[in-house]
Amino acid sequence: MNFSEAMSLQLSSEQRAMARGEAGPAAAWAIQQQLSVGQALGATRLRPIRSVHAGAEIGTMGEAGLELVEWLVEQGARSTVPTSTAACSVDFARAAGYGVPLQQIERERRLHRALERFGVIDVATCINYQTLTPPRYGEHLAWGDTGAVAFANGVAGARSNYEGGPASIAAAITGLAPDYGYHQAEARLASDVIEVRCRLDGTADWSALGAWVGTQLADYWRVPAIVLDDGQPQPSIDELKHFAAAAASFGSIAMFHVVGITPDAATLDAACGNRPRQAQHTVTRQALQGLFSQSLASGDKVDLVVFSAPQLSLGEVQRVLSRLGDRAVAAGTRLILTVNAQVEAEMRRLGWLERLERAGGGLLTGTCFYVMAPRDVRRHLGATTLLTPSAKLVNILSGAGYRTALATLDTCLDAAVLGYLP
């Protein structure tokens, strides 16, 4: 990196020493990464953060990223703030049955050995805010998973930018993050007003709304303020989680308000403050409906029904099982739920995993469907068509050769039982 450029940030003497290498090569690498990124994005300084959610998985980091993490740990790098891991690219117990390449499994093992030495809490989850600890209002964070960042900022009122894989590792080493964007109050004010003119029902509707908003704004620095329809029941945490994940996936959105619901949006005026409004948008049922079942028609065979992106909470698993009732999955169709190890453990204890498996459904743990070698999985399963209530999953998988469609939870389960889209 260009050290003279990066020095336009105001640094403490300790931070300068770190950048000069006086705290070792790993710390020097970490702070220099942060200074360069801060330079590119207009940060004026580095600021302390309270926790890190580290996105590191072999599917995107490859051998180059793995060797970097191993080198850092070899140099003595350790996390200096509580650090949890985002979804991993392998469910170690089940990957073989899905055709995940052995090389990927071995590399992922090496990565997690290194991360354990680094000092992470290896929860391998994208819903750390539901199963590990919720973020606190006003808390500065360096979180990786983009849906988790949007949730932390929007729902909890915590403060984080997207700190992607290498940036999250750097933040864990320094305990700092470049101070720009969503660490600062003025950037968190709404830039766009989204009036919803229909009732939203269930996570698929909220996911579709996130997809619609993300598509319209498509800019990390814009902040939507959602104004709900009169009489709209208050959203659940699971619904807000799907909104956040989809808005992040489709539009790189990292912060949002829901008027009357989220902490800095008691009123629309409070959400917008004195920030100039870029645009006013209206969402109708027709607009949202256009996102459902786009690439599959009624009667089309459904190979996979996948509940994923983000991993399911225990409450979502309960809803799936209760709506499935005593029906069984059709032969030739797979029903897959992705969860983290904490939720799997509870499913076992409660007898829910046995219920799911008895109905012909399957579980993937510690990963997310799109993270675990989706192209190899598709070929191994001989699957093409996929139905899901997650717009984020639809968005990602079409690039991996799937014909995907968004559907409500009930339509997804009906399709799993029938083997085709009703």
Partner 1 sequence: MKHSVSLRQLSGGRGVGAAIEGVAIVSHQGFNARYDLDPVHGTFSRPGHDLEGQSFANRIYCFRTPKGGIATSWALLDLKRRGLAPLGLVCVRMNPIVAQGAVLAGLPILDGLQPDLLEQVRTGDAVRIDPASGTLTWL
Minimum Å distance from CB 267 to partner 1? 29
DSSP code of residue 301? B
What does the alpha-carbon distance between residue 172 and residue 87 come to, in Å, rounded to a whole number? 17
Of 236 and 252, the one with the shorter C-beta distance to partner 1 is 252
Least separation in angstroms between CB 109 and partner 1: 18
Q: Nearest distance from residue 377's CB to partner 1, in Å?
A: 13
> What is the CA 123 to chain-centroid distance, rounded?
14
Q: Which is nearer to partner 1, 166 or 389 (CB)?
A: 166
DSSP 247-267: HHHHH-----EETTTSTT-SS
Q: How far is the CB of 107 from partner 1 (least distance, A)?
A: 11
Taking the C-alpha atoms of residue 150 and residue 158, their distance in angstroms, rounded to an integer, is 10
**C-beta of 329: minimal distance to partner 1 in Å?**
28
- 249 vs 333, which CB is nearer to partner 1? 249
- Residue with Cβ nearer partner 1 (95 or 320): 95
* Residue 216 amino acid letter: Q
Structure tokens at 286: 């027709």
Least separation, in Å, of the C-beta of 89 and partner 1? 11
CB of 166 to partner 1, least distance (A): 4
Which residues sit opposite 52 in a β-bridge?
83, 142
Dmax (CA) for the chain in angstroms is 67
The C-alpha atoms of residue 177 and residue 50 are separated, in whole angstroms, by 10
Q: Which one-letter amino acid corresponds to residue 387? A: L
**Spatial distance between the Cα atoms of 72 and 119, rounded to a whole number of angstroms:** 12
CB 127 within 8 A of CB 407: no
Residue 206 or 250: which CB sits closer to partner 1? 250
- Token couple for 292: 């459902």
Closest to partner 1 by CB, 129 or 352: 129
Q: Which is nearer to partner 1, 38 or 389 (CB)?
A: 38
Element (H, E) at 394: helix 391-397
Residues that bind partner 1 (CB under 8 A): 1-2, 5, 33, 36-37, 39-42, 55-56, 59-65, 68, 86, 144-147, 161-167, 181, 214, 218-221, 248-252, 254, 370, 375, 395-396, 398-401
Query: Which tokens belong to 73?
Result: 């740990």
Report, in Å, the least distance between residue 125 CB and partner 1: 14
Alpha-carbon gap, residue 8 to 22, rounded angstroms? 20
Question: Based on CB atoms, which residue is closest to partner 1, 74 or 354?
Answer: 74
Tokens for 400, please give them.
């991996």
